[in-house]
């Protein structure tokens, strides 16, 4: 389909060879979308995994009395992205939103920004929400892996006089290596094909500043009646996801085996 010029309704589909692909290579908005996707990938991995890990360690060492927190922290994960998107539209409201109200209350009025309205800021506002939504997932994921570490190891380390820090860095982390790697790839693939939350919150705007490959694909295929070009974007998205995940997978695997 990416070789066709088709509006999605006409019975006639015109074959135009690689024209869509040439246009894609020259398309600034697509390039921007690709860049935004990678910013999300990098920040997601850099923010979500460490915080998820820290929370997991906290909950793991806290034992049963922190069970309530486990539920509370996990809560964002239970909400649909669309609901989260609508919720945060109000949170970020520049007049009535909680963020604005909080900054005003603590006397940081000059830090109040147009969270979703400023092209330079909107992407990071959205990333913050993505992190809020997905950190619990990694927390539970790591927590599950940690509970599978046998208790004897902790006792042995304790007897040897290891501190908590040493125990974490030298025993837990190496044992969780595989888990972390899988988490990173999950986060990578998820971030590359990210769609719903962004679409609800900004629709890729303002002025394409939060455009992602998936939102751009949707717009082309279903709003501007350019099914052929939309398919080209979809195909490119697919290739990017596949190539990067295979690369990351092979690199981390090689590292693991030395």
Partner 1 sequence: MKKSILRLQVSIICISLIATLALAGCSSANKEKPKQDQSAAQEQTKTAEKSAPAADKEKAEKKKIVFWHIQSTGNGPKIIQNSVDRFKAENPNVEVEVVPLQNDPFKTKLKVAMGAGNPPDIFPTWSGGPLYEYVKAGQVADLTDMMNKDNYKDYFLDGAISMVTFDNKIWGVPVENIAVAGIFYNKKIFEENGLSIPKTYNELVDIVKKLKAKGITPFALANKTKWTGSMYYMYLVDRIGGPDVFKKAATRTGGTFEDEAFVKAGQMVQELVKLGAFSDGYNGLDYDTGQSRTLMYSGKAAMELMGTWNIFTVKSENEKFYNENLDFFPFPAVEGGKGDPNNVVGTVGDNFYSISKKSKNPEDAFKVIQFLIDEESVKERAADGKIPPIKGFKPENPLLQRVMGMLEKAPSVQLWYDQYLPPELGELHKDTCQALFGLSMTPEEVAKKMEEGAKKFFGK
Sole window of 73-81, 128-136, 166-174, 219-227 interacting with partner 1 (rule: CB under 8 A): 219-227
DSSP assignment string, 167-188: HIIIIIHHHTHHHHHHHHHHHH
Judged by CB under 8 A, the chain residues 71 through 90 that form the site for partner 1 are 86, 89-90
Smaller CB distance to partner 1: residue 48 or 231? 231
Strands, E assignment, 85-190 = none
Smaller CB distance to partner 1: residue 58 or 87? 87
Judged by CB under 8 A, the chain residues 111 through 130 that form the site for partner 1 are 114-119, 122
Alpha-carbon dihedral sign for residues 99, 101, 103, 105 = negative
Spatial CA neighbour of 74 closest among 132, 129, 137: 137
Q: Which residues pair with 14 in a beta bridge?
A: 5
Tokens of 3: 């070789």
What is the rounded distance in angstroms from the CA atom of residue 150 to the CA atom of residue 155?
9
Smaller CB distance to partner 1: residue 95 or 148? 95
Binding mask 29-68 for partner 1 (x = CB under 8 A): ----------------------------------------
Q: What is the dihedral of CA 12, 16, 20, 22, to 10 degrees?
A: -170
Smaller CB distance to partner 1: residue 139 or 219? 219
What is the rounded distance in angstroms from the CA atom of residue 252 to the CA atom of residue 182?
10
Question: Residue 244, Cβ neighbours under 10 Å: how many?
Answer: 17
Work out whether 95 is an interface residue with partner 1 (CB under 8 A): yes
* The one among 26, 64, 65, 254 contacting partner 1 by CB under 8 A: 254
44 Cβ contact list (under 8 Å, min separation 6): 127, 130, 131, 134, 187, 188, 190, 191
Binding mask 224-253 for partner 1 (x = CB under 8 A): xxxx---x---x--xx--xx--x---x---
Q: How far is the CB of 63 from partner 1 (least distance, A)?
A: 43
Q: Which residues pair with 15 in a beta bridge?
A: 4
What is the rounded distance in angstroms from the CA atom of residue 157 to the CA atom of residue 113?
49
Q: How far is the CB of 179 from partner 1 (least distance, A)?
A: 23
Q: How far is the CB of 72 from partner 1 (least distance, A)?
A: 27
Residues that bind partner 1 (CB under 8 A): 1-3, 7-11, 86, 89-90, 92-96, 114-119, 122, 202-203, 205-208, 219, 222-227, 231, 235, 238-239, 242-243, 246, 250, 254
């Amino acid at each position: 389909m990416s070789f066709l010029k088709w509006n999605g309704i006409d019975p006639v589909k015109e074959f135009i060879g690689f024209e869509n692909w040439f246009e894609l290579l020259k398309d600034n908005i697509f390039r921007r979308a690709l860049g935004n996707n990678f910013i999300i990938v990098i920040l997601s991995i850099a923010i979500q995994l460490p915080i998820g890990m820290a929370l997991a360690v906290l909950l793991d060492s806290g034992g049963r009395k922190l069970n309530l927190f486990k539920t509370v922290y996990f809560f964002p994960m239970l909400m649909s992205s669309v609901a989260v998107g609508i919720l945060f539209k109000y949170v970020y409201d520049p007049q009535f939103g909680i963020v604005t109200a909080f900054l005003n209350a603590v006397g940081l009025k000059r830090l109040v920004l147009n969270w979703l309205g400023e092209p330079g800021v909107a992407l990071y506002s959205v990333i913050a929400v993505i992190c809020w939504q997905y950190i619990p997932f990694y927390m539970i994921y790591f927590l599950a892996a940690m509970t599978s570490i046998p208790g004897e190891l902790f006792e042995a380390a304790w007897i040897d006089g290891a501190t908590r820090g040493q125990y974490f860095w030298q025993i837990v982390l190496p044992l969780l290596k595989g888990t972390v790697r899988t988490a990173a790839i999950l986060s990578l693939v998820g971030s590359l094909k990210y769609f719903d939350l962004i679409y609800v919150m900004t629709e890729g705007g303002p002025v394409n500043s939060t455009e992602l490959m998936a939102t751009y694909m949707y717009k082309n295929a279903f709003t501007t009646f350019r099914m052929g070009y939309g398919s080209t974007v979809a195909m490119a998205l697919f290739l990017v996801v596949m190539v990067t995940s295979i690369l990351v997978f092979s690199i981390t695997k090689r590292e693991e085996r030395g």
